[in-house]
Amino acid sequence: MKEYHALTLYDEPLIKITDGSKTEEYRSWPTNIRGDVILCATATKTHKGFACLMVEIYGCEHRGDHYAFLLRNVRAIKPVAVAGKQRFFKIEIEPNVIERGNLSQEEWFGLIDDAFIEAEPLLLKEKKRKEKNDDTGNIAKKKCETGDVTVGPGREGGENRDGR
């Protein structure tokens, strides 16, 4: 596993970066980060957040009241569930790059779609794990609030070790 800087974006800009129609990412702050960066899709109502692209940031230019992060060498990676954050953040990941080779744009997007479908069980598994943890915590909290707590084997809430 290697540590990378990561940045979260909405789906539409990610698609434009993937198809080459977007080569700059605008932010209100500059960056000195250069080299490979992981781009993550922000969580939405339809999907959890996930890492999906690796790009090279090769520059940052001041443009009016914004800064343009200059992007090149775009590589799709097999999606990995990630909790995105604002600004840059660090993640440890072993990116599994999807090679484009001489594929047409349609074939390229088909590969990316397949990768997302393949990642779906991972994203659902992560969601179920978190829901289970939340449910466990909520059950314990509810039992404490109602006084329905078993302190140990054979003891009801409120009894001490000698049964009083």
Q: What is the pLDDT of residue 88?
A: 93
Q: Cα–Cα distance between 39 and 157 in angstroms, integer? A: 50
Contacts of 1 (CB under 8 A, 6+ apart): 92, 93, 94
- Could you report the per-residue pLDDT of 59-118, keeping only the tens digit for each? 999 999 999 999 999 888 888 888 878 899 998 888 778 766 666 667 766 666 666 665
Q: What is the pLDDT of residue 118?
A: 58
Burial classification of residue 64, based on how many CB atoms lie within 10 Å of its CB (0-12 exposed, 13-18 middle, 19 or more buried)? exposed
pTM above 0.85, yes or no: no
| CB-CB contact of 51 with 93 (8 Å) | yes
Locate the domains of the chain by residue range. Answer: 2-136
Architecture of domain 2-136: Roll (2.30)
Please indicate whether residue 116 or residue 19 has the higher confidence score (pLDDT). 19
Residue 152's pLDDT band, with cuts at 50, 70 and 90, is very low
